[in-house]
A and B are shown apart, each in its own frame.
Chain A
Amino acid sequence: MRNAGVFIVTVVVLAAIAGPWLVQFDPSAQELALRLEGPSTLHWFGLDELGRDILSRVLSGARVSLVVGLVVVSVSALIGAAVGSIAGYYGGIVDEAISRFIDILLAFPGLLLAIALVAVLGPSLTNVVLALASIGWVGYARVVRAQVLQAREFEYVVAAHAIGAATPRILIRHILPAAFPALTVQATLGMGGAILSEAALSFLGLGVQPPTPSWGAMINYGRVHVLDAPHLTVFPGLAIAVVVLGLNLLGDGLRDSVEERSGGSKGPPLRYQRARRASLPLPARTTSGRADAQRTQDT
Chain B
Amino acid sequence: MCGNNDRVLPYLARRVVLTIPVLLGVATLVFALIHLIPGDPARAILGDVASEADIAQLRGQLGLDRPLSVQYVSFLSGLARADLGTSLRTGTPVASQILGRLPATFELALAAIVVALTLAIPLGVASAVWRGTFVDHAAMTVSLAGVSMPNFWLGPLLAIVFGVELGWLPVAGRGGPEHIILPAVSLGAALAAVLARMTRATLADQLREPYVLAARARGVSRARAVFLHAFRNSLIPIVTLAGLQVGAVLTGAVITETIFAWPGIGRLLVQSIGFRDYPMVQGCILLIAVTYVAVNLVVDLAYGVLDPRIRYQ
Q: Which residues of A contact B (CB under 8 A)?
A: 100-101, 103-105, 107-113, 115-117, 119-122, 192, 196, 199-200, 203-206, 216, 219-220, 222-223, 226-227, 230, 233-234, 236-237, 240-242, 244-245, 248-249, 252, 273, 277, 280, 282-283, 285-288, 290-291, 294-295, 297-298
Closest to A282 in B: B217
The verdict on A103 contacting B289 (CB below 8 Å), with A109-B248, A219-B153 known, is no
Specify which of A120, A200, A244, A277 is in contact with B148 (CB 8 Å cutoff).
A244
User: Is B153 within 8 A of A298, CB to CB?
Assistant: no
Closest 7 CB pairs of A and B: A109-B247, A237-B153, A104-B25, A287-B219, A291-B217, A245-B148, A244-B148
Nearest Cβ on chain B to A82's Cβ, whole angstroms = 21
B147 within 8 A of A: yes
Specify which of A113, A196, A230, A277 is in contact with B208 (CB 8 Å cutoff).
A277
Given A216-B152, A294-B212, 8 other A-B residues pairs in contact with their CB atoms under 8 A: A108-B292, A110-B251, A119-B273, A227-B164, A236-B153, A241-B148, A245-B148, A277-B208
A-B contact pairs, 29 of them (CB 8 A): A108-B26, A108-B292, A112-B250, A115-B254, A115-B285, A116-B33, A119-B281, A120-B36, A120-B281, A196-B150, A200-B150, A204-B273, A216-B150, A226-B156, A227-B160, A227-B164, A233-B157, A237-B150, A241-B148, A244-B150, A273-B208, A277-B208, A277-B213, A282-B217, A285-B218, A287-B219, A290-B219, A297-B131, A298-B131
B contact residues, total (Cβ < 8 Å):
61
CA A132 to CA B142, docked complex, whole Å:
28
Nearest Cβ on chain B to A111's Cβ, whole angstroms = 5
CA A122 to CA B154, docked complex, whole Å:
27
A223 / chain B contacts, CB cutoff of 8 Å? 156, 259
Contact with A along B206-232 (1 / 0, CB 8 A): 011010111011110010010000000
B208 / chain A contacts, CB cutoff of 8 Å? 273, 277, 298
CA A277 to CA B210, docked complex, whole Å:
8
User: Is B258 within 8 A of A204, CB to CB?
Assistant: yes
User: Is B157 within 8 A of A121, CB to CB?
Assistant: no
CA A222 to CA B159, docked complex, whole Å:
13
User: Is B150 within 8 A of A206, CB to CB?
Assistant: no
Specify which of A203, A234, A237, A294 is in contact with B213 (CB 8 Å cutoff).
A294
Chief secondary structure at chain A's binding surface = helix
Specify which of A109, A219, A237, A288 is in contact with B250 (CB 8 Å cutoff).
A109
B22 / chain A contacts, CB cutoff of 8 Å? 100, 103-104, 107
CA A199 to CA B152, docked complex, whole Å:
9
Closest to B37 in A: A120
B8 within 8 A of A: no
Nearest Cβ on chain A to B172's Cβ, whole angstroms = 12
User: Is B153 within 8 A of A241, CB to CB?
Assistant: yes
B212 / chain A contacts, CB cutoff of 8 Å? 294
User: Is B157 within 8 A of A116, CB to CB?
Assistant: no
Interface centre among A101, A115, A277 (most CB of B within 10 A): A115
Nearest Cβ on chain A to B220's Cβ, whole angstroms = 8
B262 within 8 A of A: no
CA A295 to CA B259, docked complex, whole Å:
49
Closest to B217 in A: A291
A107 / chain B contacts, CB cutoff of 8 Å? 22-23, 25-26, 289, 292-293, 296
A288 / chain B contacts, CB cutoff of 8 Å? 219
B147 / chain A contacts, CB cutoff of 8 Å? 244, 248
User: Is B214 within 8 A of A283, CB to CB?
Assistant: yes
CA A101 to CA B269, docked complex, whole Å:
25
The verdict on A108 contacting B156 (CB below 8 Å), with A204-B255, A291-B216, A298-B208 known, is no
Interface centre among B37, B150, B157 (most CB of A within 10 A): B150
CA A159 to CA B214, docked complex, whole Å:
47
B270 within 8 A of A: yes
CA A110 to CA B246, docked complex, whole Å:
11
CA A261 to CA B273, docked complex, whole Å:
48
CA A219 to CA B255, docked complex, whole Å:
12
B21 within 8 A of A: yes
The verdict on A291 contacting B148 (CB below 8 Å), with A107-B293, A277-B208 known, is no
The verdict on A116 contacting B285 (CB below 8 Å), with A104-B25, A287-B217 known, is yes
